Amino acid sequence: MKTKIFLDTNFLMIPAQFKVDIFAEIGRIFDSYELFAVAETVAELKNIIGSGTAKGKDKSAAKVALQLLKKYRVKIADNRKVFKSADEAILDIVDRNSAVATQDIHLKRKLKGRCGVIVLRKKQYLEFFE
C-alpha cells in the first residue's frame, strides 16, 4: 500500500532555502508513496508571494515551491471543508497510513501518534518518524 505523504507549506520551501532535494530524499526513505498538498498549502504559498511583508527570500522560496508542486505532479487533496490554515486541513485529513512532511513544531506535536512525520535534519537530509 502506498503511503500518502502530505507536504506542509514550510516543507515545500526547503529546496530553495537549504538546497535539499526533498523529492529525492522522500524516494530514498519510501519505496511506494503518493505526494499530496492540501489546498490551504497552495493558498499559503500564494499569500507569501503576494504579501508585502514577506522577505524576498521567502517570496522566492514560495515561488519555487509552487513550481515544484507542478513539476512533481503533487496531488491537491480537497477535503471539501474550509479551514483557516493548512495545519488544520492536514490534521483533518491524515490517518495511520499517511505521513506529514513538516518543520512546524506545533503541528509535529499534534500529529504524534496519528501518523508518521518527515522532518529535515541538519539542513541536509530527511528523517522519518512513526
- Tens of pLDDT, residues 19-51: 999 999 999 999 999 999 999 999 999 999 987
User: Nine-digit cell at 57?
Assistant: 527570500
Domain boundaries, the chain: 3-129
Q: What does the mean pLDDT of the chain come to?
A: 93
**pLDDT category of residue 81 using cuts at 50, 70 and 90:** confident
Q: Which CATH class is domain 3-129?
A: alpha beta
As a whole-number percent, the residues of the chain with pLDDT over 90 amount to 85
Is the Cα dihedral 84, 41, 22, 128 positive or negative? Answer: positive
Residue 97, SS3?
coil
For residues 27 and 95, give the distance between their C-alpha atoms in angstroms, rounded to a whole number: 21
Helices (H), the chain: 9-12, 14-18, 22-29, 39-50, 56-71, 86-93, 105-111
